Structures are given as C-alpha cells and as structure tokens.
Amino acid sequence: MTVKTIDDLIADGVEGRHVLVRADLNVPLKDGEITDPGRIDASVPTLRRLSDAGARVIVAAHLGRPGGRVDPAFSLAPVAEALSERLDRWVPLASDVTGEDAHERANGLDDGDILLLENVRFDPRETSRDDAERLSFARELAALTADDGAFVSDGFGVVHRRQASVYDVATLLPHYAGGLVESELSVLRRVSGSPDRPYVVVLGGSKVSDKLAVIEALAPKVDHLVIGGGMCFTFLAARGYSVGTSLLQEDMVDTCRDLLERFGSVIVLPSDVVVAPEFSADAPATTVAVDAIPDDQSGLDIGPASVRAFGEILDGARTVFWNGPMGVFEFPAFAEGTRGVARAIIGATSDGAFSVVGGGDSAAAVRTLGLDEDGFSHISTGGGASLEFLEGKELPGIAVLENQEQRS
C-alpha cells in the first residue's frame, strides 16, 4: 500500500491546522550539553517545511530511558534550545506531556509556531506492552491537535517500536510520513533491493548477538562482509584463536563457527588487533597478530594491517553499508581502526560508490572523529531501525502508515 507523505499533507492544506510530529531527538548529553546534535539537525527540514506552510506544529519526542517517570536529567530542555537556534525561531518546551501546560500552549499556537512537548517517556504508557494503556496515552496526544489535526511520523530511529507516540497515535489521526522517514526508507530499499556490485557490508560493535539477524540476512547477498569491533573476537575464537581478555560471547562461538562454515567465502576478519592490559584511554597500546593475543591483554581496535586489507576491499566497492565502529573510538589510542575504515568508505564514495552509515555508534564516530559527513552518501538516524529493515522485519511505525483508516 502507498504511504501518504508530507507533500500530500501540504497539498491537502495545512495552514492553521495542528500537526503532531513524532521526531527522534534522542541525542547524547554530557553534563547537560548535547554532544552529538545529528538527530536534531536531521529533524529540522520537516519541521521547517510544516512551519513555513502555516501549520501549528506540536513535536513529540523522547530522550533516554527515564523509566516512565519524570526525571529532570532526561528533560528535553536542551533540545528545545537547540531547535530554537537551528530554526531561527523560539521553540518553547511544555512542562508536561499531555497535561494542562501542554494543552494551554497547544491551544495558543499561531500559524507557523512550533511547540515541543516534554519527554514522552515520562509517561509509562508510552512504552507499555498493554495495548489499552498505549491507546489511552495516544488519545491524549491526539487531543492536543484539536478537531483538524494530523500526524507526521518523522522519527525514523523509533519506527521499529510499537509505542504510543509512534504507532497508536497514527491509528487516530490522518497520518503521513515525514521527509526524514521518506529518505531513510528510500536509501535502505536501495541497499536491500538490487544494489550495485561489488556490495560490501562492514559490521562492528560489541556483540555478535546484536548483529546475528542482519548477518544471516545479508551474508547471502553481499560480496564481502567485513567484521571488526568487539564482535570480531567471538569469530576469532570460533576459528580457534585465543583472544585473551577481549570481549567474548562464549555462548555465540558455535554460532560464529557455523556462520564461518556457511559464509566463509564472504566473511572477512581482522588479521591484527590493537591490545591493552586494561580498558582505559591511557592504557599502553600494542599491535599484535590475531594469533598472538596475550592472555592478559584485551583487543580494543583492529590493527593497521587490517585497516589496509579492509580498505582494499572497499576501494572496489560500488555499494557500502557500515554499522558499528571497529574499536573503542572514544579513546584516541584505539580510534584509528574506525577512522581508517571510515576514510576508506569516503574514498570509495568519491569514486562513485553509494555508501550508507547505519546510524547509532557509527554515525557518532563520524562526528566524534571529525570526519566529513558529506563524504558519505547517507548517514542514517536509526541504527536499530536500519538493521531491522535490512533483516526483513516489519517496522510497526511504517506498517501503520500504510493503513489510512482511523479509529473513532
């Protein structure tokens, strides 16, 4: 079925109407300061389009996991300030989610105004597994839009969640896909359909279990599946190597052995790693071959020979999907693996490859390491949603947009 888009909403007439937008503004904070504004920046175009078209915009979003209770540490106040700066207009923050202040502010909106609700996860019904509880919260959110409201789903990072502000509210209001969701889906369909070859997938991160489904889904489709990060040590153990004190999922070793037996022709593992005696930014770093990891050392990054080998594979790629850092990029001594692979992907992109950074820690690494974001074809805002899409799973927040009927 066809999903209606923000273009359809604007064509239908949006001036003077209340539009509830579910955005993904879940940005990392340190001491109350936003350390990576990527998701905020990605949300701005849809909000600006609606505002410029005269909509009265109400933004719903979450921050962190406050556990269904009000916690000032997870307030969206820093996000409201950042949105105000980027939109060049004041974006007030309601002091509650669907309470008196939210209603008063929503009722007082003029054409083009934008209001940010407080963290939707302050209400336990947002993430409840009880359908009736989620629906009751969704009805309160929908009530903020008065009688002529509409819903725009623009938080791609949450569309894989069956939550009140993502799924249930779309059953109550005329609903549309925002520009960000549209672009994310278009990109992922390109890499999951019939991508240009050679097609190279680079996976990192800590746990094999987190990436098992996507490995199973993609390994039969790719030319090379490059594996780094903490998860590589479980694969190395499956090959019979001792991995010292490196991160190891012992219960996944047999699974990795099976994957290597079935897809050994496409799976590429590191040949060397950077080890240290402890997990610390100032721990002394040593590069060793993967068959020579000391018993008292832990692998925290891939080594330079692995970076070169991975780079050679990427050099000839026409399509690249990358999800997960190659090491502990937050520590300078263990960031070169991630930096080197990212630069190789940028190089492939400049030579005409289509490259996608699959959100999450990979996107954070690009920004933390000061790499050129424009060097990639697309940087996703949704790590988990991207992976589940590539796994072939139905995303509830997308599926609900395909049904144009509303509950009474």
Q: What's the CATH number where 297 sits?
A: 3.40.50.1260
Which 3 state secondary structure label does DSSP give 383? Answer: helix
Q: For residue 339, with 0-12 CB atoms within 10 Å meaning exposed, 13-18 middle and 19 or more buried, which class applies?
A: buried
The tokens describing 48, both together, are 């600006």
Decide if 22 is catalytic: no
Q: Do 84 and 176 sit in the same domain of this protein?
A: yes
Domain assignment of residue 29, yes or no: yes
Domain assignment of residue 317, yes or no: yes
Please report the pLDDT score of residue 361 as a whole number: 86
Domain range enclosing 97: 6-180
Q: For residue 101, with 0-12 CB atoms within 10 Å meaning exposed, 13-18 middle and 19 or more buried, which class applies?
A: middle
DSSP code for 320: E
Pick the catalytic residue from 48, 139, 190, 207: 207
- Give the separation between CA 376 and CA 367, rounded to whole angstroms: 12
Pick the catalytic residue from 4, 22, 39, 125: 39
The tokens describing 170, both together, are 């779309």
330 is in an annotated binding site: yes
Q: Do 361 and 220 sit in the same domain of this protein?
A: yes
Q: State which H helix or E strand residue 60 sits in.
A: strand 56-60
Please report the pLDDT score of residue 79 as a whole number: 98
- Give the separation between CA 406 and CA 383, rounded to whole angstroms: 30
Decide if 39 is catalytic: yes
Number of domains in the chain: 2
- Give the separation between CA 180 and CA 381, rounded to whole angstroms: 9
Q: Do 229 and 166 sit in the same domain of this protein?
A: no
Q: What Å distances lie between residue 373 and 107, 200, 315, 316, 367, CA to CA?
A: 39, 19, 19, 21, 7
Please report the pLDDT score of residue 1 as a whole number: 52
Q: What's the alpha-carbon Rg for the chain, to the nearest Å? A: 23
64 is in an annotated binding site: yes
Residue type, 383: G
Q: Do 175 and 220 sit in the same domain of this protein?
A: no
Q: State which H helix or E strand residue 357 sits in.
A: strand 354-357
- Give the separation between CA 135 and CA 400, rounded to whole angstroms: 14
Q: Which residues does 87 contact at the CB level (< 8 Å), separation at least 6? A: 44, 47, 48, 51, 114
Pairing of strands 114-116, 29-30: unpaired
65 is in an annotated binding site: yes
Domain assignment of residue 396, yes or no: no
- Give the separation between CA 303 and CA 43, rounded to whole angstroms: 36
Q: Do 346 and 239 sit in the same domain of this protein?
A: yes
Please report the pLDDT score of residue 359 as a whole number: 75
- Give the separation between CA 303 and CA 280, rounded to whole angstroms: 18
Q: Do 142 and 192 sit in the same domain of this protein?
A: no
What are the pLDDT tens digits along the chain (408 aa)? 589 999 999 999 999 999 999 999 999 998 889 998 999 999 999 999 999 999 999 999 999 999 999 999 999 999 999 999 999 999 999 999 999 999 999 999 999 999 999 999 999 999 999 999 999 999 999 999 988 999 999 999 999 999 999 999 999 999 999 999 999 999 999 998 889 999 999 999 988 998 999 999 999 999 999 999 999 999 999 999 999 999 999 999 999 999 999 999 999 999 999 999 999 999 999 999 999 999 999 999 999 999 999 999 999 999 999 999 999 999 999 999 999 999 999 999 999 999 999 877 899 899 999 999 999 999 998 888 999 999 999 999 999 998 776 665
Domain assignment of residue 66, yes or no: yes
Domain assignment of residue 399, yes or no: no
63 is in an annotated binding site: yes
48 is in an annotated binding site: no
Measured torsion, CA atoms of residues 25, 86, 137, 398, in degrees rounded to the nearest 10: -60
Q: Which residues does 197 contact at the CB level (< 8 Å), separation at least 6? A: 223, 318, 319
Pick the catalytic residue from 229, 327, 360, 383: 360
- Give the separation between CA 70 and CA 82, rounded to whole angstroms: 21
Decide if 207 is catalytic: yes
149 is in an annotated binding site: no
Which 3 state secondary structure label does DSSP give 255? Answer: helix
Give the pTM.
Answer: 0.90
Decide if 360 is catalytic: yes
Q: Do 156 and 243 sit in the same domain of this protein?
A: no
Q: Which of 316, 319, 359, 36 is nearest to 205 (CA)?
A: 359
Query: Strand ranges (DSSP E) for 157-297?
Result: 175-177, 199-203, 224-227, 267-268, 272-276, 286-289
240 is in an annotated binding site: no
299 is in an annotated binding site: yes
Q: For residue 189, with 0-12 CB atoms within 10 Å meaning exposed, 13-18 middle and 19 or more buried, which class applies?
A: exposed
121 is in an annotated binding site: yes
Q: Do 167 and 203 sit in the same domain of this protein?
A: no
Q: Do 156 and 21 sit in the same domain of this protein?
A: yes
Q: Do 172 and 192 sit in the same domain of this protein?
A: no
Q: Which residues does 85 contact at the CB level (< 8 Å), separation at least 6? A: none
Q: Do 305 and 284 sit in the same domain of this protein?
A: yes
Please identify, among 180, 205, 220, the residue that sits at the C-terminal boundary of a domain.
180
Neighbours of 281 (CB within 10 A): 11
Neighbours of 261 (CB within 10 A): 9
62 is in an annotated binding site: yes
* Backbone phi, psi, residue 45, to 5°: -55, -45
